[in-house]
Amino acid sequence: MSRPQQGLDCIGVEQLQRVGPRIAARLAKLGIRTVQDLLFHVPHRYQDRTRRRALSELAPGEEVLIEGEIERVEGALGRRPSLKVWLRDSSGGGLLLRFFHYGRAQREAFQPGVRLRCYGEVRQGPASLEMVHPEYRVLMDGLAPLEQRLTPIYPSTEGLQQSSWRALTDQALTMLAASPLHEGLPAEILRPLGLPSLRDALVYLHRPPLDAVLVDLSEGRHPAFQRLAFEELVAHQLSLRRLRLAQQCVVAPVLAGTGALQQRLRAALPFRLTAAQERVVAEIATDLGRTRPMQRLLQGDVGAGKTLVAALAALQAIESGAQVALMAPTELLSEQHRRGFEMWLTPLGVEPLWLVGRHKGRERAALLEAVASGRGRLVMGTHALFQDDVVFASLGLVIIDEQHRFGVHQRLRLRAKGSGANSAPHQLIMTATPIPRSLAMTLYADLDLSVIDELPPGRTPIVTAAVPDTRRDEVITRVRRACEGGRQAYWVCTLIEESEVLECQAAEETARQLAEQLPEVRLGLVHGRIKGPEREAVMGAFAAGELDLLVATTVIEVGVDVPNASLMIIENPERLGLAQLHQLRGRVGRGSVQSHCVLLFHPPLSPAARARLGIIRSAESGFEIAERDLEMRGAGEVLGTRQTGAIQFRVADPVRDQALVAAAQQAADLIIEQHPDRVAPLVQRWLGRREHFISV
């Protein structure tokens, strides 16, 4: 009896032997529902049980297969059972096996003279090399065949043994040999890259041959692995292109502008735009004049002057009769925008509105009415702008600052605000998180990219020093001198154990101590639990020069702009990542005087922390720091994907596989043009249900 010819993507795992409802549910937890899903669940490492190793040549840390004869057994049953078994082999070497859980039968099987075959990790014990709880079998008459293949180890979940994975993938591989798996990528793409076919790659990864180089395999560098990573990158590109194409079918209001307001703002500025600012302003101006919604990512290091670019874009939209929404991730940053925009726009007769979570009741109702009537031309705020009751009369441009704090879905949700059935507002997304270009192309393939790659003139690089906290008093003296000299300083207390409450307490305590030690210094405190008007008052006073020293938690990370502040102390900088340190440090160095940053660390430093502080001291540009950061950590961590819900990859790693990214983009172009029928199956295979999530 033969089954009708069916693709493996349509055969559910419950059709495999040994898969009942319980196993099926466990597999589903890992996103595995079909035989195809199972084939794409590839091992993350391999064991070599094909060779026996002599006991005399073992080293700690290795996972090995060994055989030996029991020389001696020692141990007791009882409340804390412990069994020691000494093995010896013909090489003259010995090994101690330790068991902590064992039964009577097991113990009785371990008799001097019995031969054992064991697999496990070799460790250095107090007296000799040891294996703790190895997998073992008793060799009855000596001649048991060795494995003929490397043993795959699968990422697993509770209740699924490696032996089950092997049994399941055995069946899946048999089915793969008999029935076709859709070959996602055309041969003309694969051939020049020297990558194997999908079937060959899968067979190799699940059941590598004896001569496979294990390190290449488990680190993802082998062509078989790269084949899958490449296909995933292509699928990801296709998905984002599809998103983009869908946007292209939507109309946006043409916001060509008149130049009237923009000219007046430019004339009022005490400085000229940098060439880089001019370039991106022009790129945005062109986009806004089109009938298709702009989807542009504006990258620029801290202090590069993104806010002004945003203001000019906003004015172009307002000149054209549209409303503008400007969203920031925190209230503090949003306040900062408000101050900047009020200073620039109020003289032009544009009165910005401000809408954040704390606006309630009548105040909120009045704001909403102004937005709905279209009287409010520019509305600034936080997540509060997302809410359903916020209705715009004619939203034409959405600007999002510090995009990395928001997820893809949030970005799309705000866009949906101004959308009719067939229309959507323009979108400008700004970020100071420098994302290396290759990574940006992977993660934001649905966006155009503008980069401000130049800082305004007259900025002097910040001098950064690392000082152990045993020299805290010297640092305090330094703060006193700076303040006496008429300058201002930040003292940043960093996160303790992920607890905002503790962090705030630490900041309060530090502020109290510093106030004692620096009685002549005017000191202010801001942290996450000081809210609203109180915080605004402190920030305002610091910005106005009425406070000399601002003690703060990392809430000041983004946006705060006080040019006279030229000294920053960061306590326990070893707790922070490079990107965050760079963002914090960017709060100083905004004026013309030489700025300093002191990293007041708590010794001893771990090697990784030492390396991070070294990089932050020597590197100035955010892009350089981001590249180094990428080398030290994964892409996910750099972008904070876990918090933001940005894209997760199954096999690919955009950092490790950077070399494949450009090829994946070309492949996506070619597939869309010449093999449009392959797009949907590829996206379905790799993103499946997740694409639905991304395109909400």
- Binding residues for ligand ADP, rule: CB under 6 A, are 271, 273-274, 277, 300, 302-308, 432, 456, 561, 590
Residue appearing with tokens 């993938």: 169
Smallest gap, in angstroms, from Cβ of residue 643 to ligand ADP?
Answer: 21
| CB nearer ligand ADP, residue 100 or residue 271 | 271
Residue at shortest CB range from ligand ADP: 305
Q: At closest approach, how far in Å is the CB of 375 from ligand ADP?
A: 27
Q: Which is nearer to ligand ADP, 41 or 487 (CB)?
A: 487
Integer Cα distance of 584 and 604 in angstroms: 23
3-state secondary structure of 660: helix
- Rounded to a whole number of angstroms, the minimum distance from the CB of residue 520 to ligand ADP is 29
Return the HEC string of 127-196: CCEEEECCEEEEECCCCCCCCCCCEEECCCCCCCCHHHHHHHHHHHHHHHHHCCCCCCCCHHHHHHHCCC
Q: Which is nearer to ligand ADP, 304 or 408 (CB)?
A: 304
Length of the chain equals 696
> Where do the H-state alpha helices sit in 619-657?
622-632, 635-639, 641-644
- Shortest Cβ 301–ligand ADP spacing (Å): 7
In Å, how far are 476, 497, 526, 597 from 506, measured between CA atoms? 17, 12, 12, 20
Three-state secondary structure call for residue 384: helix
Q: How far apart are CA 145 and CA 350, in angstroms?
A: 84
468: left (phi over 0), alpha (psi -120 to 50) or beta: beta
Beta carbon nearer to ligand ADP, 62 or 342:
342
| Least distance (Å) between residue 274 CB and ligand ADP | 5
Alpha helix ranges (H) inside 422-471: 437-443
> Do residues 69 and 92 lie in contact, with contact meaning Cβ atoms separated by under 8 Å?
no
When the beta carbons of 236 and 306 are compared against ligand ADP, the nearer one is 306
With beta carbons less than 8 A apart as the criterion, state whether 571 and 510 touch: yes
Q: In terms of DSSP H, where are the helices of 320-462?
A: 331-345, 361-373, 408-417, 437-443
Q: Least Å distance between CB 616 and ligand ADP?
A: 17
User: In the complex, what is the shortest distance from the CB of residue 308 to ligand ADP, in angstroms, rounded to a whole number?
Assistant: 5
Q: Which are the contacts of 566, defined by CB distance < 8 A and separation ≥ 6?
A: 482, 487, 488, 489, 588, 589, 591, 593, 594, 595, 596
Looking at the DSSP bridge assignments, the partners of residue 52 are: none
Quote the least distance from Cβ 266 to ligand ADP, whole Å: 11
What is the H or E stretch that residue 48 is in?
none
**Residue closer to ligand ADP (CB basis): 281 or 668:** 281
Residue 430 or 489: the one with the smaller Cβ distance to ligand ADP is 430
Pick the closer one to ligand ADP by CB: 303 or 425: 303
Nearest to ligand ADP of 305, 425 (CB atom): 305
Tell me the two tokens of residue 657: 């596989």
By beta-carbon proximity to ligand ADP, the closer residue of 220 and 305 is 305
**Strand, helix or coil at 407?**
coil
Cis omega before residue 208 (within 30°)? no
Geometric angle at alpha carbon 578, from 573 and 582, rounded to 5° = 85
Between 311 and 371, whose beta carbon lies closer to ligand ADP?
A: 311
Q: Which of 343/465 has CB closer to ligand ADP?
A: 343
* Smallest distance from ligand ADP to CB 204, Å: 48
In the complex, the smallest distance separating the C-beta of residue 310 from ligand ADP, rounded to whole angstroms, is 8
